[in-house]
Amino acid sequence: MTDKQRIRLFQWSLLLGGLGLWETGVRLSWINPFWVSSPLLLAEAFIVSVKANSITFHLGVTLLEALSGLLAGAIVGILLGLLLGMSRLLGQVLEPFIIALNSLPRVALAPLIVMFVGIGFSSKFLLAFSLVVVPMMINTWEGIKSVDPIQINLMKVLRASRWQLFKKVLLPNCVPWLFSGLRISLSFAIIGAIVGEFISARAGIGYLMDEAAGGFDTTGMLMPLLVLMLVSFALDRAILAISVHFLHWRQPVR
């Protein structure tokens, strides 16, 4: 058995063992299902929701809000990061303001955003965007600043233009940072969409959870949350697979 197969075996054993203990605890009345539900109750609720086309509809709403905010925030953040990285003076001037902006709990701005743009798609999009743009900007900026000075000096000795320096050295060095930022920002974007839906919404996973909470329905709260977790995990794996494809030239860490 290879190391990879052994790791997969341990992971599946841990997952199935945990679910088995959870269900067994509920069945033997060691755990009150009112507080934590159970795997079988969650599976039954999921099947009912799929048949009613409820979970698929609300999941689609949340993913649209989160992924559109992720895409827009990533594009703007990358462009701002490149601008700051290419202009040393601008980066030094704006650095304290960017750090202060990143320290701002932007989730706390959700009520203000809803007040300005309403309870529709725009508020969730803007909240997801606000949580993504700064991390992507900082990751891009750090990617440029982390370039080995020897490589930059070598390009200058070869009389490379600024465009050649950017294309051959700076941008390739940023790619690992960009993918790392995307994986982190994916969860931020989903958090932004969910928080916006908690505050005020007519659809989405956050809306489903809020409705279930009003009826003290633990299963109704956990089921959509777990579905969203699995979808988020699948998206993260997709980003990781794309990054492996583009970064095949890197020496793997042993």
Q: How many domains does the chain fold into?
A: 1
What is the CB neighbour count within 10 angstroms for residue 38? 20
The answer to whether residue 52 sits within a structural domain is yes
Q: Read off the pLDDT of residues 180-210 as tens digits, 9 standing for 90 and up.
A: 889 999 999 999 899 888 887 788 898 888 8
The answer to whether residue 193 sits within a structural domain is yes
The answer to whether residue 134 sits within a structural domain is yes
The DSSP secondary-structure symbol of 53 reads T
What is the CB neighbour count within 10 angstroms for residue 198? 16
CATH of the domain at 72: 1.10.3720.10
pLDDT computed for residue 142 by the predictor: 84
Q: What is the rounded distance in angstroms from the CA atom of residue 121 to the CA atom of residue 203?
A: 10
Q: What is the rounded distance in angstroms from the CA atom of residue 160 to the CA atom of residue 81?
A: 22
The answer to whether residue 136 sits within a structural domain is yes
For residue 89, give Cα distances in angstroms to 84, 94, 104. 8, 9, 24
Q: Which residue in this structure is represented by tokens 């633990």?
A: 218
Segment 26-35 shows an average pLDDT of 85
For residue 171, give Cα distances in angstroms to 48, 79, 104, 197. 48, 12, 29, 37
The answer to whether residue 14 sits within a structural domain is no
Structure tokens at 37: 């539900």
The DSSP secondary-structure symbol of 109 reads G
Structural domain including 138 reads: 40-246
The answer to whether residue 152 sits within a structural domain is yes
What is the CB neighbour count within 10 angstroms for residue 213? 13
pLDDT computed for residue 254 by the predictor: 46
Q: What is the rounded distance in angstroms from the CA atom of residue 127 to the CA atom of residue 69?
A: 8
Question: pTM for the whole thing?
Answer: 0.84
The answer to whether residue 75 sits within a structural domain is yes
